[in-house]
Structure formats: structure tokens, C-alpha cells
Homo-oligomer: A and B are copies of this chain.
Amino acid sequence: MAHDIRIVTETELRRAITLDLETVKVIEQAFAALSDGGVVMPPVMSMDLAAVHGEVDVKTAYIPGFDGFAIKVSPGFFDNPKLGLPSLNGLMILFSAKTGLVEAVFLDNGYLTDLRTAAAGAVAAQHLAPKVVQTAGIIGTGVQARLQARAARLVRPYDRLLIWGRDADRARTCAADLADLECDIHVVDTPENLVKASQLVITTTPAKTPVIEAKWLHPELHITAMGSDQAGKNEIDPQALVRADLYVADRAAQVEQLGELRSAIEAGIWTKGAPAELGDVIQGRARGRKNDAEITICDLTGTGVQDTAIATHVMARLAGRDVGTVITA
């Protein structure tokens, strides 16, 4: 029973979809669905390939009402740079949620993951940052540093952007790459100065020891920590989670294992129980920011619903368009 399968490459995907408010909306809907219940999202399948200095993660989620569900495979092979290859790559497969048939293979090398991760940052800022953000701060200088700066500006059109990274040269390159945002961009000398001057801070690092100290927290601050996605990573001083007026998770069961909350639990200082989830805040089932003065933190570890949402969204965008290669199988 042959049917058509669309194969789309990274180049084709980059032309077809970018980071915009529509993408943010799609990811917001995914989190809202997660709160509604009925989502089937198995734990991440992880394969640690120590012998080849690699790892492979598989994520998926079924969301009621969505036409398809995605299965995403994300390999990370950390000796690749020696071969002139990127460490991270991978693909997403979109299946019909009605028949289980393969509908599309997105050979995105991680591009759609980058997008859906950035969009989640925008969703967090939209629902948790102070209404007016004059200064935003980005910690880190990689792909997500750039994308998170752009994503935040879609929902909080800041005038000033501060960037800090361990490597000042890379921070300057990052700032230069963001010049088209046409706002005031500065590379700052310490994360402390960045946090103290910002109303919205996004951490995008693979740090294993905190880059933000609790004592830097101040009224009218929202922090989104999106770097931690594995046990062992930790971007924010565990005391900061306790001190914040509100700490929100993308997925409570996941931040306890892979996110910032893990360190706070291990340090024995977290006594508030399971944190609220972003979807619950979106749906009004959990409280969000009460006023401008509060300090809020959102912890993003990455969820399968985001993958299913972005893949379904891409498929809808491509409908009726001659993009990719169609194979009958």
C-alpha cells in the first residue's frame, strides 16, 4: 500500500520556516496541550556511546488533536569537530496520528530543534517576564544565544541587549551577528553586571557549575534557563530557585532529573514540591507573574511535544508547495 513521503533537507527547511510569532504560537499551543492532559510522552530514550565519545537521544510525543506526531533522533558525537563535522545533527520523522504512516522525513541536522527551543524561550518570556523589558541579557555565545535574543525580542521588544560569554571574542562575534536587530548591543565583562542591569535574562550554556549567583537576583527580573538538559548540567545557583517568587518548569518530572531543580534537590534546599509547569501557567491553571516586582525563573529542558508541534507546523506550511523530494514507498 504505497503512499507519498516527503523528504526535506535542512537547506529547504531553512527557506520554508524561520523563527517568527507563528512558530512561537505553535510551541505555546504544545505546552498548553501538555497541561490539558491526553498527551502521551514517553521518557527520552538515551544511548550513551562512550566508546565513540557519542550519545543519541530519541524524543517523541503524541498530542491529541494534532494531525501528526514526530519522532526525533538527536545524535551528538563530540569528536566530530576533529573531522571538520558538527557535533550535533539528526532528523525528525513525522507520522500520521491517524494511521501511523510515515508522512515526512525532515533531514534538519538539528535546525528544527534549534527553532522549537528558541520559540519555547519566547513563550516563557511572554508569560513570565515583566510586561516591559528595556534590557535583555543573554549568557552564552552559541546558536541558542543568537536565537534566544531574537525570540525574546518577538514578545518583549527590548531596547538594549547585553551579552556575556566566557570567551569575549565569541561574545563580540555573537553581538555582531545580531546587529540587524537594530538595538543597543553591548558585550559586558561579567555575568553579574549583565543580570543586575536586565529585566529578562536567558542562559544558554552547557555549564556544570552555576553562572548566575542567587545574590544577583533583583526585583523585576525574569530568568529563563535553557541550557541544562542532562543530569550534571547546572546554570543557576540552586539558592536562586528558592529565592525566586516563582519557579516554573517546562516539564516537572524532567527538571527534577535534567534541569536546574536537580541541583536544588540534591543540595537539599528545595522544599516547595513539584514546580508548576509552563503549560499550566499558559492555561491559567497555575499562577504566573503577579506583578512587575516579582522575580521569576523558568527552566526549559526540552520536550517531545515541542518536536511534534514544530514538525506538524512545518508539514502544514509545506502543504501544496513543491518543497523537498517526494518518494512513494
Q: Which residues of A contact B (CB under 8 A)?
A: 1-2, 5, 7, 9-11, 38, 40, 42-43, 45-49, 51-52, 54, 56, 58, 60, 62, 64, 69, 71, 73, 75-77, 80, 83-86, 89-91, 93, 95, 97-102, 105, 107, 109, 325, 327-329
Contact = CB atoms under 8 A, between A and B. Distances in A.
Copies of chain A in the complex: 2
A58 B38 CA distance: 21
Contacts of A327: 7, 9, 107, 325
B45 A42 contact: yes
Nearest to A91: B102
Given A9-B329, A89-B101, A47 B40 contact: yes
Main secondary structure of the interface of A (DSSP, over half): strand
Given A42-B46, A47-B40, A47-B62, A83 B100 contact: no
B100 A54 contact: yes
Given A10-B329, A62-B47, A85-B1, A80 B107 contact: no
Contact of A102 (B5, B43, B64, B90): B90
A99 B80 contact: yes
B47 A60 contact: yes
A107 to B, nearest CB: 4
A3 to B, nearest CB: 8
B109 A329 contact: yes
Given A77-B100, A107-B327, A327-B325, A49 B62 contact: yes
